[in-house]
Amino acid sequence: EIVMTQSPATLSVSPGERATLSCRASQSVSSNLAWYQQKPGQAPRLLIYGASTRATGFPARFSGSGSGTEFTLTISSLQSEDFAVYYCQQYNTWPPTFGQGTKVEIK
C-alpha cells in the first residue's frame, strides 16, 4: 500500500502568519490527493481534493498544490479557527491511505 508521510508533526504558528504543511507519497498518486481538517472532538472534514480544489465552505486562504508524490497545503494567514490537525489522504490506489497528521498549534 502507499505510505503517506506528513511533515512537520507539529507546526507552531502565530495568528496572521503563514503555515505550510507537506505531504509525501511513497509512489505517485497523480493529483488524487485530499486534505482533511480535524478539530478536537470532531470528525475530519474534507478541505481540499484533487490536490488543489477547495471543498465547500472553506475560505480562499486555504490552498493546495502538488502532484505525483509531493504535496503542500498552505494557509496564508492563520485565523483562530484554523488551529487543528490536518491529514492528507491518497485516493488514487486501493487501499486509500492517510498521513499521520500535522497539528497546527498557536505559537
Partner 1 sequence: QVQLVQSGAEVKKPGASVKVSCKASGYSFTTYAMHWVRQAPGQRLEWMGWINAGNGNTKYSEKFQGRVTITRDTSASTAYMELSSLRSEDTAVYYCASSGPSAWYLFDYWGQGTLVTVSS
CA–CA dist 80, 17 (Å, integer): 11
How many residues belong to the site for partner 1 (CB under 8 A)? Answer: 21
| Exposed/middle/buried for residue 95 (C-beta within 10 Å: 0-12, 13-18, 19+) | exposed
Among the residue ranges 9-17, 19-27, 65-73, 94-102, the one whose residues contact partner 1 (CB under 8 A): 94-102
Stretch that binds partner 1, among 8-16, 32-40, 63-71, 74-82 (CB under 8 A): 32-40
Residue 102 contacts partner 1 per CB under 8 A: no
Helix (DSSP H) and strand (DSSP E) numbers for the chain: 0, 11
- Contact between 68 and partner 1 by CB under 8 A: the answer reads no
Residue count of the chain: 107
Q: Can you give the binding site for partner 1, defined by CB under 8 A?
A: 32, 34, 36, 42-46, 49, 55, 87, 89, 91, 94-101
